[in-house]
Chain A
Amino acid sequence: MNDTVLRVNDLHVAYVKEDSVVEAVKGVDFSVSAGSVLAIIGGSGAGKSSVALAVAGLHDQRKARVTGKVILEHDDIIQMSEDQLDDIRGARVGMIFQDSRGALDPTMKVVNQVAEAIRRHHHLSREEARTEALKRLHSAGVAKDLLRHAPYAHQLSSGLCQRVMISIALAGDPILLVADEPTGSLDLTRQAQIMRLLRERVAASGLGMILITHDLGLATSIADDLLVMRGGSQVEYGPCEEVIKSPGHEYTNELFGLWRQTCFGKGKGHAHT
């Protein structure tokens, strides 16, 4: 599938403070096709999350100045009013957060949270939505029996919370999924499981996905395209294999070098961050 879901041109994001303006993103260009995954990688402060927020139309217009073009299918998100943004949130753009437990309401059963998200986007009765929620949770790896014993988020493991969060994010059958460090709080096994689940969903639903991460291994294991950022600027962008094989920028080269050292123990030391 090569239908472009999202096209971003010359995206700039600047945070306006009382006496200064901090430019977090300085001209980024990329696109995301249906059924593909774009991984945005870079160190802390590279501007990755600012790009994610801009794509989801989540910047507070009083505090951030966003310019450029963020075209979701045919609509420019930057030009949308708050009401128009409300219409696309969840329905056309889904989002997954790093702290999935924190992103789930502690006083509401998780199945009800999924059902509520389904009802928001589909005309279903309460009971139908609940049945659909259980079905979706089951297919995401959350068993019905488990929810009977542990119905609230604080009773579930981080991995299960992330599976619930994915079910909520996909409840409106969006065309674009933005995952901001979705496995940051998980161990390696669960990271792999969640990544596999996300990859399956992308393939099955034909949605485009943006994965924000600082984990190069994770990014290369799932992404079709790679965007490398540093200090708010785009330093490399292209198909994942090409970027790995022949990095065109000093920083990317350095990043891959450090990653190889960490993974395979080559060189003088480890680069734990």
Chain B
Amino acid sequence: MARPGIIPTIWGGLSVSPDAGGRVWRGLRSNRLLLVAVILAMVIAGLALIVPLLPLQDPLATDYDHTLQAPGKGHVLGTDLHGRDVLSRVLWASRPSLLVGVIATSLALLAGIAAGGLASMGGRFTDAFLMRVADAFLSFPAILGAIAIMAVLGPGLRNVFFAIAVFGWPVFARLFRSSVLATREMDYVKAARVLGASGTTVFIRHILPNSITPVLAYTALAAAAAILAEAGLSFINLGVQRPEPSWGLMLAESRGLFEQAPWMAVAPGVAVTVTTIIFIMIGSAVSRPMAPVVAGEGRSS
């Protein structure tokens, strides 16, 4: 029996089988970077989920007798200009950030897959039209575009989802389109067609599972970018609105106070950086096994 020559996808395929859980675990174990990143992401997501159950102070409760208090007993990460507990606010702020990471990226992913799928399978005119629209979006700085959308729609988390997704879908569309175009030319797709599978069956059963992996790998990177974008929009007061906690908003509130109360900037700064790095680690780790591996040789980077 020949050993694997080419490892085609992350865990040898996306088809669901009774052993799928086992394969995912084996894949995670053999990819340490991914394992570490996934555990850290689960810790952050877990904290965001259980934050209401934690014995924390109210993130909105002001205490003007204890403003700009340094980290210590009672306030592990200190207090801000209004005497609010920074630890509590940092933990509560993980919720909108992760929500933006998940929802805005999912919206962009779905729109991108729909547009990319349509472009790759829908004929020359549809392809040219959709790709020119995608190019138009890509040629515009995403953060400026998002600011423009927020300026029109008004601030608020729901509009942040939309603004980020609007400028996120073209990369997914381009990635999925090129992946489908490459997969469409594979022998197994032609073989399935020759042996009687309908166009729809071939797309769903063979092209989609083989084209989606690079797109999913990019999803983690896009989520990291979305979290940063949310922090940026909140920083300029277009995202989460006061007094709700947000990492970007907390950084904005720390402006001019760094020498006096550095903890106000360090805590949310570290939170947004670590979360972004974790998502980037997941994206990089997931992308790595997709590089073709020749048996007995090292994996190409």
Partner of A120, one of B9, B188, B197: B197
Q: Report A129-163 CB contacts with B as 1/0, cut-off 8 Å.
A: 00000000000000000100110101111101000
Flag if A107 contacts B8 (CB, 8 Å): yes
Q: Is A182 an interface residue (CB 8 A)?
A: no
Say which one of A38-46, A84-92, A230-238 lies at the interface with B: A84-92
Q: How far is the CB of A21 from chain B (nearest CB, A)?
A: 23
Partner of B195, one of A89, A150, A156: A89
Q: Is A102 an interface residue (CB 8 A)?
A: yes
Flag if A105 contacts B12 (CB, 8 Å): no
Q: How far is the CB of A86 from chain B (nearest CB, A)?
A: 7
Flag if B195 contacts A95 (CB, 8 Å): yes
Flag if B195 contacts A169 (CB, 8 Å): yes
Flag if B15 contacts A107 (CB, 8 Å): yes
Flag if A89 contacts B6 (CB, 8 Å): no
**Binding site of B, secondary structure by majority: helix, strand, loop or mixed?**
loop
Q: Is A208 an interface residue (CB 8 A)?
A: no
Q: Is B4 an interface residue (CB 8 A)?
A: yes
Q: A154-B8, A168-B195 are in contact. Are A108 and B205 (CB under 8 A)?
A: yes
User: Chain B residue with minimal CB distance to A90?
Assistant: B196
Say which one of A109-117, A219-227, A261-269 lies at the interface with B: A109-117
Flag if B195 contacts A172 (CB, 8 Å): yes
Question: Whole-angstrom distance between the alpha carbons of A155 and B13 in the complex?
Answer: 13
Flag if A103 contacts B196 (CB, 8 Å): no
Q: Is B54 an interface residue (CB 8 A)?
A: no
Question: Whole-angstrom distance between the alpha carbons of A172 and B193 in the complex?
Answer: 13
Q: A102-B187, A106-B9 are in contact. Are A112 and B196 (CB under 8 A)?
A: no
Question: Whole-angstrom distance between the alpha carbons of A99 and B5 in the complex?
Answer: 14
Flag if A97 contacts B12 (CB, 8 Å): no
Tally of B interface residues using CB under 8 Å: 31
Q: Is B191 an interface residue (CB 8 A)?
A: yes
Q: A102-B187, A155-B2 are in contact. Are A107 and B209 (CB under 8 A)?
A: yes
Residues of B within 8 A of A150 (CB): 1
Q: How far is the CB of A77 from chain B (nearest CB, A)?
A: 13
Question: Whole-angstrom distance between the alpha carbons of A103 and B185 in the complex?
Answer: 11
Q: How far is the CB of A32 from chain B (nearest CB, A)?
A: 18
Question: Whole-angstrom distance between the alpha carbons of A99 and B186 in the complex?
Answer: 11
Q: Is A126 an interface residue (CB 8 A)?
A: no
Max chain B C-beta neighbours (<10 A), residue from A90, A157, A158:
A90
Flag if B17 contacts A109 (CB, 8 Å): yes
Q: Is B194 an interface residue (CB 8 A)?
A: yes
Q: How far is the CB of B9 from chain A (nearest CB, A)?
A: 6
Residues of B within 8 A of A172 (CB): 195-196
Partner of A155, one of B4, B192, B193, B205: B4
Question: Whole-angstrom distance between the alpha carbons of A104 and B5 in the complex?
Answer: 14
Interface residues of A in 190-214 (CB under 8 A from B): none
Flag if A157 contacts B196 (CB, 8 Å): no
Question: Whole-angstrom distance between the alpha carbons of A169 and B5 in the complex?
Answer: 24
Question: Whole-angstrom distance between the alpha carbons of A120 and B14 in the complex?
Answer: 22
Residues of A within 8 A of B12 (CB): 107, 152
Partner of A106, one of B188, B192, B195, B205: B188
Q: Is A249 an interface residue (CB 8 A)?
A: no
Flag if B196 contacts A105 (CB, 8 Å): no
Max chain B C-beta neighbours (<10 A), residue from A56, A90, A154, A172:
A154
Flag if A103 contacts B188 (CB, 8 Å): yes
Flag if B1 contacts A156 (CB, 8 Å): yes
Residues of B within 8 A of A58 (CB): 194
Residues of B within 8 A of A270 (CB): none
Q: Is B142 an interface residue (CB 8 A)?
A: no
Flag if B15 contacts A112 (CB, 8 Å): yes
Flag if A108 contacts B206 (CB, 8 Å): yes
Residues of B within 8 A of A107 (CB): 8-9, 12-15, 209-210
Question: Whole-angstrom distance between the alpha carbons of A149 and B3 in the complex?
Answer: 11
Q: A58-B194, A90-B195, A117-B196 are in contact. Are A154 and B209 (CB under 8 A)?
A: no
Residues of A within 8 A of B198 (CB): 86
User: Chain B residue with minimal CB distance to A87?
Assistant: B196
Residues of A within 8 A of B193 (CB): 89
Residues of B within 8 A of A117 (CB): 195-197
Q: Is A63 an interface residue (CB 8 A)?
A: no
17 A/B residue pairs, CB under 8 Å, sorted by A: A56-B194, A86-B198, A97-B187, A97-B191, A103-B188, A105-B210, A106-B9, A108-B205, A109-B13, A109-B15, A117-B196, A120-B195, A120-B197, A120-B201, A157-B2, A165-B191, A172-B196
